[in-house]
Structure 1
C-alpha cells in the first residue's frame, strides 16, 4: 500500500506500508522522499510522526538529511526512513506528521 503524504513544488513524500510484518500487531512502513525541483535542494530534512496514546511509534534515522536539486541525467535520489507502529488493539492507525 502506498500513501502520498506530500506532492507539491517538486517534493514527493510517499509512505510505503509493508504487507508482511514481524507480528500481527506491528505495522512496518518506509517513508520515501524525492525531489524533482530543478532549482531548490532539500536541506536539513526532518520528519516527525505521532500516533494515538494506545499505540507506539518508532522512527529509525533517515538515510540522509539533504537531497540535491533534480538532475534529469542522473537517477533520482531519495531519503528513506523506516517507521514501526505497535498497535496492540489492532485499531485503525491515525498518523499525524510534520515534515520540515
Structure 2
C-alpha cells in the first residue's frame, strides 16, 4: 500500500472551488479507497511565511494535509493526474503497512 500526502492551503482554489475539495473529488473519480483532509496547526512552504491557526474554521490562510492510501498502481495514476489540478503543490509518497 502507498500513502500520498498532499499539502495545500485553505485559500488555494481550482476555478471557483477550494483546491482541497477539487482534489478530494478527483480522488473519488479515480476510484481511490478514501481521502482525508486534516487542518494543520502551523506550517510554511516555499514562501517561507509561517501560517498558523487562529480560532476555528477554515476561513484563514492555513495549511492543509490531504491523505490518500491505496495500491501503488492507483496512487501512481492519481499522482500523475494531480499534477494537472495542483501543479505547485507538494506531494509526498511513502509505502505503508495497513492493519
> Which category of TM-score, normalised to the shorter sequence, fits these structures?
0.3 to 0.5
Q: With structure 1 as the length reference, what TM-score do the two structures score?
A: 0.37
Q: With structure 2 as the length reference, what TM-score do the two structures score?
A: 0.37
Higher-helix-fraction structure: 2
Which structure has the larger Rg? Answer: 1
